[in-house]
Amino acid sequence: MAMNNIFGYQPGRSIVHQLSGGTKLLIFLLLTISGMLSFDVRYLVLLMLIAIIGLKVAGIHWKNVSTIVKFVAVFALMNLLLIYIFAPQYGTTLFHSKTLLLGHGFYALTLEQLFYEFIVLAKYFFSLPLALIFLLTTNPSEFASGLNKIGVSYRISYAVALTLRYIPTIQQEFVTISHAQQARGFDMSKHAPFTQRIKGAFGIMMPLVFSSLSKIDEISRSMDLRRFGKERQRSWYYEQKFKRQDWYFLIGVAVLVVLEILLMKLTGSRFWYPFS
């Protein structure tokens, strides 16, 4: 059973890799927050294009992210379906108009509802590439340094870094335990029945949990022996100073944030509907 390294750091030489951890963290937070606040499809599509170009520039290949992209796509479609089931007329309320496309009554399909659900989908598919770029191009130690630089306690920052470092290990252990199960004759391949694969996955979880708890205890003891957390401040081996390219990227993000503010002022709200 193969598994993509979903959240593991992937070294590279792209300009995205060369940015400091603090810069990438600020870019990720600013663009994500501005995109989530906006309901202007023009701005969201622009962010989607920038995020997709960023994936290409960072050299992130489809085979490395296909698992998480498929998972998010399924989750997004389920979310859109649930929105329609529980609030099929929310788009008409939001945009103060109603253009009937199909059916009648409470579940009548309207252009406004479709437009709103496209906006929701756009939010998923600009934020996901941004998150992948950040996670796959940022060394966990640089990430911890970046968190600490913006005011997060270094204890919390280091805990986050350890979590990111350990995710690939958990994935590898899952594969190892799965292979051991298959060696004992328990088929978990795609040819096995779906219920059998689910049962096998649950069978893997218990040894994986105990193995993870054992490693967490070892790391905690090692950090205690080294008196981690006893001082108020600490230095960072992987800390990077801001370079010229960092400022260029931050200025570009600032321009995008200003663009969002201008669009809000021009339209008079966070919402933009071109068919009214």
Reported as a single tens digit per residue, the pLDDT across 175-204 is 777 777 777 777 666 666 767 777 777 777
* Pick from 4-13, 87-96, 166-175: least confident: 4-13
State the DSSP H helix or E strand holding residue 92, giving kind and residue range, or none if neither: helix 90-95
Q: Which residue has the tokens 């309901």?
A: 39
Q: Given pLDDT bands bounded at 50, 70 and 90, which one contains residue 239?
A: low
State the DSSP H helix or E strand holding residue 102, giving kind and residue range, or none if neither: strand 100-102
Q: Which residue has the tokens 């958990």?
A: 170
Which DSSP string do the residues of 159-210 spell out, in sequence order?
A: HHHHHHHHHHHHHHHHHHHHHHHHHTT---STTS-HHHHHHHHHHHHHHHHH
Q: Given pLDDT bands bounded at 50, 70 and 90, which one contains residue 2?
A: very low
For the chain, give the mean pLDDT. Answer: 82
Nearby residues of 259 by Cβ (< 8 Å), 6 or more positions away: 43, 46
Nearby residues of 196 by Cβ (< 8 Å), 6 or more positions away: 187, 188
The model's pTM is 0.75
Cα torsion angle, 180, 186, 188, 194, sign: negative
